[in-house]
Amino acid sequence: MQKKVQKKIRARRAPTETDVAKLAGVSQSAVSRAFTPGASVAKATREKILKAAQKIGYQTNLMARSLATSRSNIVALAISNLENPFYAQVVKELSERLRDTGRHILLFTTKIDGTADPELERVLSYQVDALILTATTASIELTDQCQKNGIPIVQINRESKISGISTVRGENQKAAEQIAQFLIAGGHKNFAFIGGTKDSNTSQIRQHAFASHLKSLGFPQVQIAFGDYSFEGAAAATRQILNSKKPVDAIFCASDYMAFAALDVVRREFGLKVPQDISIVGVDDVPEASHSAYDLTTYSQPAASLAEEAIKIIDQQIAHPGRRAMRREVRGELILRGSARLPDNSIFTIDGKKVWRS
Amino acid sequence: MQKKVQKKIRARRAPTETDVAKLAGVSQSAVSRAFTPGASVAKATREKILKAAQKIGYQTNLMARSLATSRSNIVALAISNLENPFYAQVVKELSERLRDTGRHILLFTTKIDGTADPELERVLSYQVDALILTATTASIELTDQCQKNGIPIVQINRESKISGISTVRGENQKAAEQIAQFLIAGGHKNFAFIGGTKDSNTSQIRQHAFASHLKSLGFPQVQIAFGDYSFEGAAAATRQILNSKKPVDAIFCASDYMAFAALDVVRREFGLKVPQDISIVGVDDVPEASHSAYDLTTYSQPAASLAEEAIKIIDQQIAHPGRRAMRREVRGELILRGSARLPDNSIFTIDGKKVWRS
DNA sequence: TCATTCTTTGCATACGCATGCAATAGAGGT
DNA sequence: ACCTCTATTGCATGCGTATGCAAAGAATGA
C-alpha cells in the first residue's frame, strides 16, 4: 500500500475563500467580509486578504453568494425582436448601464409579441433581481409569481393593464397626433397606417391616436394594414395598401424598421418618388433612419432614456419593495428628414436637427 | 405574552424541495431525484412529487443547483458590436439554440474589438459552462483562467493564436480572393479596401488575401482605409478613399454594415452611380443586404451556421475536457446583387440566388 | 421457501459564501 | 490602574440542491 491513489489534477477546483483564509492566516468569514463592501474588517487585515486572494487568483463564486444572500445581481432581459435595430440599441444601453452598477444580463429571446414564453417562467429559478421585457408583455401568471417573490417587472415599449407591472414608453399618443397634424400641414390627403402585430398595445395606441386625430381634423378615412413588426411583413402590408383601389399619399409606420420596408417597396416595386408622390413616417429614430439610403422622417424614442428609466424603476422597486408599479413616458421629437413632404411652418432646428412642433 | 410576533409575510420565500418533500411525504433527496433526469425514483413516487411541486409552484433553484454541481447551464456571451445587424443575428441564433438545450446566455457588451474587457474576467465568478466571444478576442490571462477551470472558449469571427481557444469563422481567405477575381472579371481596374479595426485579425486576413490576390493577377495597387467596423468610421474611410487623387472603381468592405456606409457616401456625397461608376462589395450577407435600398453584392457568412458550430464545439469540449481547441470554417457564397458590375461568366443561380464561382 | 440481485429510499454531508452572535483586543476616559 | 465602549475577529450555522452510502424492500431464481 505504498502507492497512494493520485489525486485528480484534471480540473483544478477554483480557489475559495477558505483557501484564501488559510493563506492569509485568517478565518473564512474574515475573507468574506473583506469582499463585502461596508463589512467590518480592519484595514490591515483587508489588505493582507486581498493580497492573498490576488496571489492565488481568487474570484468570488457568485452562485454561492446568491444562494446565501438570495440576490443574484442578475437582471433577466426578454427581447423579441433583435433584428430591429431599435431593440438592439435598447439591449446595448441596458447592458452598459447595468454593467456599470455591477449587474449582468440574462438574455431571453422570445417570439415576436407573443406574451412572454413559458420559458420565461424559469427566470425565477435564477433568482434574478428584476425582469425587463422589451417588446413583449408578461402573462398574468408570470407577474403573480414575480410579485410573490418580490421581483420587479418593467416592460419597455409595451403598456400593461396588470397592476404589478411597471412600464417605460415613448410618447405614443402624442407622436401619432403630431404626425397626423404634420402630414395634414404638409398637404397630404390620403392616409395609411402600418401597424405592428394586431395585439401589440403600443401599435394599437398609435393607430387609434392617428386615426382619431385625423378624423377630428376632417380626414375620417385611414387605411390600416399590419406588418407584424417584421421587414417582410411590412413590405407585404405596403403592397396591400398600394394595390388597393384607394389613393394614398402618406403612410405612418409603427416603427422605423417597418418604414424601411415601406420605402423599399414604394420606391422599387411601385416606382414612386419619395416624398413627391408619397410620404413615409416612422417611429423610433434608429441610427439607420439618418442614413441617406433611407433618410427617414420619424418620431424619436430615445433608447438610452428608455433604458435609463427602466433601470431607475427597477432600482426603486428593489429599494422599496412595497411600492406599486410605475409608469414613465420618455419624450421624443418629430425629426424631419427627406421621406415626408414638409409643411411651411412650425419647423424648428434644434441641436442641428430639424424638428416639427405643432 | 399572548401575542406572538407576526411572521413577515411580505416576500414569501419561494418553495424549496423540502417544502415539496413535506407535502408529498417523502425526503428532500427524493424530490431532488425526481427533478434529476436519469436518477433513481419509482414512477409512482415521481408523479406524486411532481404533483406536489406543481401545487405549490416549486421551481428548482438554479443557484443552489449550480453550487452543488458546479455547473450553471449558463453560457457567457461577449459581444462588441450589437448595432451591426450581423452580430444581432448571431446573438439571436445562439440564444435560440442554447435555449433549446436548456441553457441561457449571460450577456456582456464590450468595446469594439478591444481584447475582452477586464469585466469579462468576472465571468468565472458565475461558474459559466462556456464562453463565446463574438467580434472580440480573449486575453491570455482570461484564457489561462478559463483553462484552469475547464471552461471552453470559442471565438466567432476572430482568429486566435492562443492554443486554448477554439474558433469559428467564415471563409475569410477565400471570400477575399473570390471577390478580387470577381471584380477583375467585371472589368474593374482600381481597387480599395475598407477594413475594420487595425487589430482585427479577421480584417487583416481579408485585406491581405485581397491585396495579394489582386497583385498576383496584375493589380499591385490597393488603397486601404479603416472604418473600425462602425458606420461613421466606414463613411469617413470612404470619403478618404474618394478624396484621394487615385482613381477607384471598386471598394471591398470588411463587413456589410460598413458597405452600407460606403454606398451612402458614394451615392449621396459624391453623386456616383452604383455600379456604373463604382462597385461596392461587402461580407456577411446580413438581411439588410437584400433590401433594395442597398441591394448589396456580398460574400455570405451564415450566422446560423456560425452559431451552430460554436455550440457544437462547446458541447464537445464539455463532453471531453481534455480535447484541444478546435477550428471550424463555415462556407459561404459570393451573392450577386446590384452594387457591383457583373462579369460575363461564372454566374450561377442557386436557390433563387445569383452567385459567382470562379 | 430461501438466497441473491436489483430497485428505491432516506440519511448525512458537501458545495462556497454570508451573517448573527459571542469573544477578544484595543481605545478612551476618569 | 480600572472600567466602559468600540472595533475586529472567529465560530457556528443557514441558504437549497446533489449525491455516496447503507438500509429496506421488491423481484428473481433455484
Edge-to-edge strand ranges of the sheet holding B327-329: A327-329, A165-169, A153-156, A130-134, A74-79, A104-109, B104-109, B74-79, B130-134, B153-156, B165-169, B327-329
Q: Is A62 exposed, middle or buried (0-12, 13-18, 19+ CB in 10 A)?
A: buried
The verdict on a CB contact (< 8 Å) between B107 and A74 is: no
Q: How far is the CA of B292 from the C1' of D1 (A)?
A: 94
**Helices (DSSP H) in A217-321: which residue ranges?**
231-243, 256-264, 303-319
CB A309 within 8 A of CB A155: no
The predicted-structure confidence for B57-95, as pLDDT tens digits, reads as follows: 899 999 999 999 988 999 999 998 899 999 999 999 999
Joined grid coordinates for residue B50: 411532481
Pairing label, strands A327-329, A279-284? unpaired
The verdict on a CB contact (< 8 Å) between A95 and B77 is: no
Name the nearest CA neighbour of A16 among A41, A42, A52, A40: A52
For an interface test with A, which of B13, B54, B59 has the most A Cβ atoms less than 10 Å from its Cβ? Answer: B59
Confidence of residue B115 (pLDDT cuts 50, 70, 90): low
Protein contacts on strand D: list nucleotides below 7 Å from a Cβ. 7-12, 14-20
Closest nucleotide to the alpha carbon of A67, via C1': D15
Is the pLDDT confidence value at B358 over 60?
yes
DSSP states of B92-151: HHHHHHHHHTT-EEEEEE--TTSS--GGGGGGGGGT-SEEEEES----HHHHHHHHHTT-
CB B285 within 8 A of CB B299: yes
Is the pLDDT confidence value at A310 over 90?
yes
- The residue whose grid cell reads 394595390 is A243
Is the pLDDT confidence value at B6 over 50?
no
Distance from CA of B248 to the nearest CA of A (A): 21
The predicted-structure confidence for A280-309, as pLDDT tens digits, reads as follows: 999 999 999 999 999 999 999 999 999 999
Cα-based distances in Å from A300 to A160, A174, A251, A264, A306:
22, 11, 17, 21, 11
Phi-psi region of B294 (alpha: psi -120 to 50; beta: other; left: phi over 0): alpha
For an interface test with B, which of A60, A62, A124 has the most B Cβ atoms less than 10 Å from its Cβ? Answer: A62
Is the pLDDT confidence value at B266 over 50?
yes
Protein contacts on strand C: list nucleotides below 7 Å from a Cβ. 7-12, 14-20
The predicted-structure confidence for A268-277, as pLDDT tens digits, reads as follows: 999 999 999 9
The predicted-structure confidence for A252-270, as pLDDT tens digits, reads as follows: 999 999 999 999 999 999 9
Strand partners, A222: A191
Q: How many CB atoms lie within 10 A of CB B77?
A: 27
- Phi and psi torsions of A141, nearest 5°: -60, -45
Is the pLDDT confidence value at A194 over 80?
yes
Is the pLDDT confidence value at B184 over 90?
yes
- The residue whose grid cell reads 430615445 is A302
pLDDT of residue A113: 63
Is the pLDDT confidence value at A152 over 80?
yes
pLDDT of residue A115: 63
